[in-house]
Amino acid sequence: MTLTTDISYHGEKKQHSFFEGWYLKHQIDQHTYAFIPGISIEKNGSKHPFIQIIHDESSHMLHFDESEFFAEEDRFDVRIGNNTFSEEGISLDIQDEEENLSISGQITYGPFSPIQRSKFSPSIMGPFSYLSFMECYHGILSMGHSLQGSLNLNQQVIDFSSGTGYIEKDWGTSFPKAYIWSQSNEFQQPDVQFFFSLADIPFVGFEFLGLICVLNLAGKEYRIATYNGGKVESITREKDQLVIRLRQKNLELKIAVDSQAGHDLMAPSQGEMNRIIRENANTTINIRLVEGDKQLFEGEGRMAGFEEVGQVSSFKY
């Protein structure tokens, strides 16, 4: 079995029907700025580097020539045009008249907050990390880190020096046909970080509902996942919230996210960025974790990301 590590770049030898993208989120003063560098490889082998940008109020898709893309194979270091994205931070030089967009500047990253890793679970995918035929792989590089530096966005200087970052990535052939995703690391309580994803996963001729969820509380990780026996008890709509209830042994987690529609993003299907999804990059999420009869946490996460595509499995909501 081959380990599909989330640190590496996987596209160097791919010839067709492949994508890889990194999601770098930056939060400051109640605002979110996310940059998604990536590359898609179509069925005919043509390669298309891109950078997507999503803010509270807008989203943008920027296209580049194949020759403008470079990625290190054994570490997170991606360069597209005059823009660099790496473990150390980002450096941007974007001038796009068609998108009416000008961004320049640098942001450096503090130490990453990684998820727990083991031989059984070398990435957030758990033992599925060892399989080479999954439609889509997911990785979390940092649940949270500090930011330093500033960007000049359309003549407005934004200082990120007291902000917070988050980084994840995806690669494979296609995004799941139906999924829910949410993330926040801005809670009133210190040292709280949250990630959740639920998707219909094709697997050797059938489908299963894949759940991965991490809640970090002051350095202690609570992970609810399919490969740990985690289950979805219900998905309902209550006013403007999507409410998801999870259970794993004696852990119960309630997730209630404000589910207003967001902005358009392009997503991959068979390697081509031809599918439109919508992401709200700055919403609110409420979380309650109970272990047996004891409540371990209850709090509101701000500047949360949220995507809802289709309806997963047999749930109606």
Q: What CA–CA distances, in Å, run from 81 to 28, 135, 170? A: 26, 28, 21
pLDDT of residue 7: 87
Radius of gyration of the chain (CA): 19
Chunk the chain into consecutive blocks of 10 residues (it has 317) and report each block's average pLDDT, rounded to whole numbers. 76 93 97 97 96 94 97 96 98 94 97 96 95 94 98 96 97 96 96 97 92 96 98 95 98 96 92 95 97 97 96 91
pLDDT of residue 204: 84
Whether 13 is in a domain gets the answer no
User: Which of 280, 269, 275 lies closest to 240 in space, CA to CA?
Assistant: 280
CB atoms within 10 A of CB 13: 7
Burial (Cβ within 10 Å: 0-12, 13-18, ≥19) of residue 286: middle
Residue type, 38: G
Q: Is 12 left (phi over 0), alpha (psi -120 to 50) or beta?
A: alpha
Whether 27 is in a domain gets the answer yes
Whether 11 is in a domain gets the answer no
Whether 231 is in a domain gets the answer yes
Q: Are 60 and 47 in contact (CB under 8 A)?
A: no
Q: Locate 242 and state its tokens.
A: 């999507």
DSSP labels for 19-49? Answer: EEEEEEEEEETTEEEEEEEEEEE-TT--EEE
CB atoms within 10 A of CB 21: 22
Whether 225 is in a domain gets the answer yes
pLDDT of residue 234: 97
Whether 119 is in a domain gets the answer yes
End-to-end CA distance of the chain: 38
Whether 305 is in a domain gets the answer yes
Q: Locate 110 and state its tokens.
A: 């503090």
Domain of residue 155, residue span: 18-309
Q: Which residue reads 């990059």 in tokens?
A: 281
Q: What CA–CA distances, in Å, run from 280 to 7, 56, 182, 201? A: 26, 7, 9, 23
Q: Which pTM was predicted?
A: 0.96
Domain count along the chain:
1
Q: Locate 28 and state its tokens.
A: 């400051």
Whether 8 is in a domain gets the answer no
Q: Is 229 left (phi over 0), alpha (psi -120 to 50) or beta?
A: left
